[in-house]
Structure 1
Amino acid sequence: MKETEKRPLSWFWKWFLNNQAVTSLLVVLLVLLILFMFTKVSYLFEPIWQFLAIVGLPIILAGILYYLMNPAVDYLERKGIKRIYSIFGLFILVIGLIVWGVVVIVPKIQEQSMSFVENLPGYLDIIENKVNEILSDPIFSQVQDQLEASNEKLIASMTDIIQNLSRSTIQNIGSFFGAVATVVLAVITMPFILFYLLKDGRQLAPYFVKFLPTKMRKPSLTVLKEMNDQVSSYIRGQLTVAFAVAIMFMVGFSLIGLDYAITLGIAAGFLNLIPYLGSFLAMVPAVFLGIVGGPVLLVKVLVVFVIEQTIEGRLISPLVLGNELSIHPVTILLVLLTSGKLFGLVGVILGIPVYAAAKVIITHIFEWYTTVSSLYEEETESNVQQE
């Protein structure tokens, strides 16, 4: 039998696919070209952005609840309960929890929030008196003069800001009602989207993949499964940690006698959805109240914070989240800063799961490239020889 002769590599393969420097340069140029073209024709995407602004909120809310409820639905289905009955049962449970929260928790939060607003001027007076006591020392006389001058400028600036805010509020009242309408629409449509996600969610990936060429279907399913695993583990883990953080802060603040413990704990839980920064942001009002209450209360607040951070970092987060995402903390901070700058609060909350999904796609593209290019063969062979 004659040996099959190898076909000579084309010039494109030799100079582009098999040249790491040229390939990297082409990728960079392609990305820059796409960004440049996007800035020139961004107006073409305005209808798309408007459409996403309308349908995006209910889809995002339904997706989050889907990842929370789907494991329970799967578990009940494995126990012999029909999937449709499991979904309706969970819907009734969730509605019951929402009603309980509206009846019990919301009035408490409203009461504590109104009390805080009413007492805020008194709190500020207490802090001002304490600062004046410290600055009454002759050593701080120059600093006090500078602070008084800065205080006058700050008051003038705050007055201007309030006036501008009042004018902008009147001017943007139409936008406010538009936002309210969007939220109401999301609340109405979200349960229907969630129902069909729970009922037919497992069929979505095979349905979309069947439109791809036959050779691409299996790897595409693999990529979609990994993306789903990454996003679902992050959402469930992050919400579980946030719930645990809220409980710990509520219990801790209640034990030390800090005012507004329930409101501060719930706020800490929501803010904890922002990785690394949420807990520290939640401590700002708690530390403020600790300063108002005196040195002993401030120390107690800091002790609660240290205990919470220790339990969260050493026990809850490793147990719930683990190292599923394998994302460096510096990368997380950069993603948060970028997504927050571009998309605001929604970007801060969704930036990490979107990055995790994109990372899966890029990783598989890179793995495909290593199979079609011989750039990495020498490294593999040298490693084998060294072993």
Structure 2
Amino acid sequence: MNSKIIANGILRALGILAAIALVLFFLYKIQSVIVYIAVAAVISLIGRPIVLFLRRKLKFNNTLAVIVTMILFVGILLSLIGMFIPLIADQGKNLALLDFQQLERNVDDLYQQITTYFEFNNIDVEQSIKDSNLLSKLDFSLIPNFFNGLVSGLGSFSIGLFSVLFISFFFLKDSQLFENGMMIFVPNGNEMRSRRSWNKIKDLLSRYFVGLIFQILILFVIYTIVLLIFGIDNALVIAFLCALLNLVPYVGPLVSGFLMLLLSMSSNLGESFSAVILPKTTYVMIGFIIAQLVDNFFSQPFIFSKSVKSHPLEIFLVIIIAGILFGIVGMIVAVPAYTAIKVILKEFLSEYKIVSKLTKGL
């Protein structure tokens, strides 16, 4: 091997590395566009059964079915915004007139009631809380800053929302658009199997995301009923936030439980801790646990077995591994990514025993 061949090999390797670096840099710069496309793809998968229903059952043409579906999505979005905007407006008005010293005194009063209650029951927690110096670290002036940041982000959110809706419309209108784009990267001779894999993935993920919508809806209804029964303020908003957090497997329910506990207690500030706050919060948390039991033993097994055709233990291990490797984002995308990988393996590597075992139900 002469020096010229070695030099050409080195130059080719450097060229490949430079091209990879440029592609990664380009993807980094357009990461917001990639997120828009990903969200639009999810929306199109959720809307696909609706479009098919309108076309097959009601005999709508494709364009009209897509328009009706998008109007339905926009209506749902406006309903959610309509639910949150009055709350934000009221909170903004309250914050403008809020006496933060009085708020701090109310929190301190709640703290004194809690410690007095536990001391009465021979549970000494006051010293540990004092050692942590927790109350002195609370900065109540951060609350208006948080809402100011929230308002400043509405501009970029509006641009992103328009982009997602625009892309979703064309994904629904031309269902082959994304598929044809992906086929560019498929080697010759594999187009047919790739198209079969893609159609199977679309079918499974459509059912999976629709199942998630029903899962959130079931939790939302149960949370709302529990919160309304015990007179918790802003019950609809709290129920929706806690149900939405359930999209994050295993971690989401813990966060939503803490959020519901905190908001249930704070909605009764100024009341007696032992007579009002503690009983109400206890009943609310019992309702939260019942909702989680319904979700864990009914909703999730049904979604995993009927939509992505995977055993719950299999899904559990996949989510845990994805969480260790990629964090919260990995836990969220673990099930769709694993489903897509299983379909591709079944189509291209079904002759291997381990693949045939894993993909037996597909």
TM-score (norm 2): 0.70
Q: Distance in 1 between matches of 2:155 and 2:91?
A: 28
Aligned to 2:85: 106
What is the rounded CA distance, in whole Å, between the counterparts of 1:61 and 1:244 in structure 2? 23
1:349 matches 2:332? yes
**Structure 1 residue 267 corresponds to structure 2 residue 241:** yes
Alignment of 1:370-385 (within 5 A): 370=352
Partner of residue 91, structure 1: 70
Match of 2:284 among 287, 301, 306: 301
Give the secondary structure class of the aligned counterpart of 1:215: coil
One-letter amino acid matched to 1:316:
S
Task: Output the CA distance in 1 between the equivalents of 2:164 and 2:263.
Answer: 38
307, 310, 314: which one pairs with 2:293?
A: 310
Q: Select the residue among 68, 72, 87 that pairs with 2:46.
A: 68
Quote the offset at 1:130 in angstroms.
1.3
- Cα distance in 2 between the residues matched to 1:138 and 1:238: 45
| Runs of 5+ unmatched residues, structure 1 | 1-36, 377-387
C-alpha distance in structure 2 between counterparts of 1:146 and 1:93, whole Å: 53
Whichever of the two has the greater Rg, that structure is: 1
Asked if 1:183 corresponds to 2:157, the answer is yes
Query: What is aligned with 2:173?
Result: 199
Is the CA contact 1:77–1:86 (under 8 Å) kept in the aligned structure 2?
Answer: yes
Tell me the CA shift for residue 267 of structure 1: 0.6
Equivalent-residue separation in structure 1 for 2:163 and 2:94 (angstroms): 35
Q: Residues 248 and 215 from structure 1, CA distance in 2 versus in 1: closer, same or farther, beyond 3 angstroms?
A: same
Instruction: Report the equivalent of 2:34.
Output: 56
1:223 aligns to 2:204 (yes or no): no
Which structure has more helix as a fraction of its residues?
1
- Structure-1 separation of matches of 2:122 and 2:301: 51
Partners of 1:73 and 1:86 within 8 A in 2: yes
The DSSP-based 3-state class of the residue aligned with 2:190 is helix
- Give, as a single letter, the amino acid of the residue that structure 2 aligns with 1:50: K
Check if 1:149 corresponds to 2:123: no
Counterpart Cα distance in 2 of 1:296 and 1:136: 16
Q: Distance in 1 between matches of 2:282 and 2:117?
A: 20
Q: Tell me if the contact between 2:322 and 2:330 (Cα under 8 Å) persists in the aligned partners.
A: no
Deviation at 1:274, TM superposition (A): 1.0
Shift of 1:316: 3.3
1:65 positional shift: 1.7
Task: Tell me how many residue pairs correspond in the alignment.
Answer: 313
Aligned partners of 1:250 and 1:262 also within 8 Å: yes
Contact 2:205 2:336 in 1 (8 A): yes
In structure 2, do the counterparts of structure 1 residues 301 and 90 end up closer, same or farther at CA, with 3 Å as the change threshold?
same
Instruction: Tell me how far 1:59 sits from its aligned partner.
Output: 1.3
SS in 1 for 2:194: helix
Deviation at 1:77, TM superposition (A): 0.9
2:305 partner SS: coil
The answer to whether the 8 A contact 1:57-1:186 is kept is no
